[in-house]
Amino acid sequence: MIDDKHFYEPSNGHRLAHDPFNAIVGPRPIGWIASHSANGVMNLAPYSFFNAFNYTPPIVGFASIGRKDSLNNIEQTGEFVWNLATRPLAEAMNLSSVSAPPEVDEFRFAGLTPIQGRIVKVARVAESPVAFECRCSQILQLTTAAGSSVETWLVLGEVVGVHIDRALLKGGNYDTAGAHPILRGGGPTDYFEVMAETLFHMRRPPYP
């Protein structure tokens, strides 16, 4: 068998027009994170490295590449809210990604409505059909395999409150495609939308 694959060691460069890593590990859920500073300045920012990590208790997390406002705010308050980014909200989500000073309220900048959390003090995006209120459980600075520190922090939070539009609950099941969530692809502009047409089913097989 001929192994006709492009191979590279990331530390030596990929030798391609664009780094393929983000495109290969994708599409990825978007961490649309709301937080506020200790003095109450609201912040809203999307993160392309986000996912769920545990069922019970439910834990989600996102990676801040560099020390961003969200990281600083969560260190100060211990709370944040994840908001589902959907196709109708894509442009507003993109606006909230602006590199603005800490005193800028991205809710207002993106034309979104903040609504107070029921358990945490952080506001959620009223227009988003799903939101998780979270209490920070861990903040970990990443390291290389050799043990050197990386300027990236993994922020983990326990989900303590969940908001779901009732229209997305069908027979007691959450309708993933019905929310039209968007996911991050590779490169500076690639996004994907989850649609019912791409759904397929598989059950875990029993061991023979």
Q: How far apart are CA 26 and CA 20, in angstroms?
A: 10
Over residues 46-58, the pLDDT tens digits come to 999 999 999 999 9
Cβ-based neighbour number of residue 80 at 10 Å: 27
β-strand partners of 140: 154
Least confidently predicted of 4-8, 18-22, 88-92, 163-167: 18-22
Q: How far apart are CA 41 and CA 109, in angstroms?
A: 13
pLDDT band at 44 (very low <50, low <70, confident <90, very high): very high
pLDDT band at 187 (very low <50, low <70, confident <90, very high): confident
3-state secondary structure of 4: coil
Task: Provide the whole-model pTM.
Answer: 0.94
Residue type, 97: S
Q: H or E element: which one contains 62?
A: strand 59-65
The DSSP symbol for 12 reads G
Over residues 163-178, the pLDDT tens digits come to 999 999 999 999 999 9
Over residues 65-76, the pLDDT tens digits come to 999 999 999 999
Q: Residue 143 has which token pair? A: 């390291």
